[in-house]
């Protein structure tokens, strides 16, 4: 599913983010930037040790923050590690919006043209997929209406349920 926004394209795909051929993929990271399970574990396994080594040098970031590293052996040249909120910690919606926005800004600062996002915080962090779709899509759509070098923003969703939720929300937000 695709929507043209200004000079860019926002896309939804169902699949494995580690297989995406965009300039960067986003890792749903923890604040310590330790690549454990879930999306981070898959990125570590396919990308190789260079990604974790670079994360160790960076040391970490705050909830809502994002940092960029090499993509190691991935198809993507870079990984942007975005720290989403854990449900119950408070102010989760703002923190997810910031994690999404900071990832988009880092992509622009590094002159990237394409980026792929997972549904940040919806795994072990327990964030509801419906709220995630609403916040991440609205943030992405608004960002693409401004000045950006990004030409392609992809939400790569694992599983039919997440894909359907994001697709319904994208239709609602774009009136299509």
pLDDT tens for 36-46 read 888 888 999 99
At residue 124, the pLDDT reads: 85
Kindly report the pTM of this predicted structure.
0.95
Q: Contacts from 80-83 at CB under 8 Å and sequence distance 24+?
A: 80/24, 80/25, 80/26, 80/27, 80/106, 80/107, 80/115, 81/26, 81/27, 81/29, 81/33, 81/55, 82/26, 82/27, 82/28, 82/29, 82/120, 83/29, 83/30, 83/31
Q: What is the pLDDT of residues 98-115, one digit of tens each?
A: 999 999 999 999 999 999
Domains and CATH numbers, the chain: 2-174 (3.40.220.10)
Is the pLDDT at 147 greater than 80? The verdict is yes
The per-residue pLDDT of the chain, averaged, comes to 95
pLDDT of residue 63: 96
- Separation CA 169–CA 126 (nearest Å): 19
Per-residue model confidence (pLDDT) at position 39 = 83
pLDDT of res. 123: 87
Give kind and range of the element (H or E) at residue 44.
helix 38-47
If pLDDT is split at 50, 70 and 90, which confidence band does 175 have?
A: confident
pLDDT at 176: 77
């Amino acid at each position: 599913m695709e929507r043209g926004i200004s000079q860019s394209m926002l896309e939804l795909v169902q699949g494995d983010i580690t297989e995406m051929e965009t300039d960067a993929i986003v890792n749903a990271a923890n604040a310590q930037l330790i690549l454990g399970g879930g999306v981070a574990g898959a990125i570590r396994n396919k990308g190789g040790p260079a990604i974790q080594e670079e994360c160790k040098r960076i040391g970490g970031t705050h909830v809502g923050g994002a940092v960029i590293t090499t993509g190691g052996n991935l198809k993507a040249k870079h990984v942007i590690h975005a720290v989403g909120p854990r449900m119950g910690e408070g102010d989760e919606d703002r923190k997810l919006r910031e994690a999404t926005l900071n990832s988009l800004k880092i992509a622009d600062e590094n002159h990237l043209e394409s980026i792929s996002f997972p549904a940040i915080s919806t795994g072990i962090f327990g964030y509801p997929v419906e709220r995630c779709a609403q916040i991440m899509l609205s943030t992405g759509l608004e960002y693409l209406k401004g000045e950006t070098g990004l030409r392609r923003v992809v939400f790569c969703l694992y599983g039919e349920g997440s894909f359907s939720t994001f697709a319904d929300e994208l239709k609602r937000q774009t009136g299509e």
